[in-house]
Amino acid sequence: MNKLQKIILAIVLALGSIFSSSLQAQANIDRMFPNLVLTREQYNKWKLAIDSTTTSDGKTAFDSFVRLLSITTIRDDVTPSPVTSLSVSGASTIVSSDMQRMYALCLYYAFTQSDVYLAKAKEFYLAWAAVNTAVKENSPGETIYNPGIEGYSIIRNCIDSTSRVAIDAWMRKRAAVASADGVRTNNWQTIRLQFLLYYGLLLNDASILTKFSGGYDPFIPINLYPNGTSIDLLGRDAFAYHAYDLLFFAKILKAEACYYGFAKADSMYAKEYQWGSSIKKSVDFWKPYLLYPTKYSHIEFLETEYTPDIASHPSEYNKPYNPSGTIYVVDEMYLLDQDLFQAIKLYRGNTKTATLALWLSALRWN
């Protein structure tokens, strides 16, 4: 082989290596989808912003909510602090901290493909999987784990099979508790259905998904009313709970969008169920109270059916509804209803990066 042939061979081998590496990197990214956090289109939009040298909302959101927490976790060698359950004293603070950290690590891996962050995320998940269980009949409390569940949906197919089996087992135990919990008519059931959908999609488990689908359609007209009110609004006499209930419908629809496409999620949002109930009607009923609180005022909890509300909501009881306290729901429902940006402009100062949830919703419309 002469000198020229050797040079040509070297170039061919180098190009082949680059091409092979590029294919492997693409395959790694492909394995992250679908997930419970964002669609491939949203991912691609955000990735362009992150990789750009130009300052943008995308870079701001990533630096503020993902990069900083992830980098400090590695830099400071933060270790997991798993607790057996939320029944442990002080557990909520610990759970919240670790779940948010796990979520950030998974997202940081998603956009950097750095194995260091994948390994750290896996370390946290395995530690929690080893000891943690869900508390029965505690649906609202258990939502504190949502960031961890969502994050795992990104990395599940990117980790080794032994770790995946261990973490899946933890998720299945949590799914079993949600499945066995009693059926209710208020936000507790909305949350329970969200858990069933999350676990069913994440684990690709037909039996869990059947449990979700069998309970979802009959539940809508029991929970949401044809005139746009809801059992939570009337029972607790508070828009705080009307909005809280809608939060978990937003999460359900987001999961549907991520796995099956926005066409299905949009259809579910507008669909009228028995007697004409729909999620959209309940959001539309809420909008005037969000946008024009002076004209559309409501005294919160005044005639609640749940007496403890008086003591547990002292700053809201017998006072006008304050929309700023429920804008966190708008952050997520904005994914399904672009008109809600009016409320974001009003209460978020026209920014789309006030929260990570808001930014993820804004990615659809940007």
SS (H, E, C) the chain: CCHHHHHHHHHHHHHHHHHHHHHHHHHHHHCCCCCCCCCHHHHHHHHHHHHCCCCCHHHHHHHHHHHHHHHHHHHCCCCCCCCCCCCCCCHHHHHHHHHHHHHHHHHHHHHHCCHHHHHHHHHHHHHHHHHCCCCCCCHHHHHHHHHHHHHHHHHHHHCCHHHHHHHHHHHHHHHHHHHHCCCCCCHHHHHHHHHHHHHHHHHCCHHHHHHHHHHHHHHHHHHECCCCCEHHHHHHCCHHHHHHHHHHHHHHHHHHHHHHCHHHHHHHHHCCCHHHCCHHHHHHHHHHHHHCCCCCCCECCCCCCCCCHHHHCCCCCCCECCHHHHHHHHHHHCCCCHHHHHHHHHHCCCCCCCCHHHHHHHHHHC
Query: CA of 174: how far to CAs of 143, 180, 210, 255, in Å?
Result: 12, 10, 17, 18
The token pair that represents 289 in the structure block: 């109270």
The tens-digit pLDDT sequence of the chain (366 residues) is 677 766 676 565 655 544 544 555 678 899 999 999 999 999 999 999 999 999 999 999 999 999 999 999 999 999 999 999 999 999 999 999 999 999 999 999 999 999 999 999 999 999 999 999 999 999 999 999 999 999 999 999 999 999 999 999 999 999 999 999 999 999 999 999 999 999 999 999 999 999 999 999 999 999 999 999 999 999 999 999 999 999 999 999 999 999 999 999 999 999 999 999 999 999 999 999 999 999 999 999 999 999 999 999 999 999 999 999 999 999 999 999 999 999 999 999 989 999 999 999 999 999
Q: What is residue 39's predicted lDDT score, i.e. its pLDDT?
A: 98
Residue in the block written with tokens 């729909």: 278
Q: Residue 179: CB partners within 8 Å, gap ≥ 6?
A: 196, 208, 211
Cβ–Cβ < 8 Å for 129, 162: no
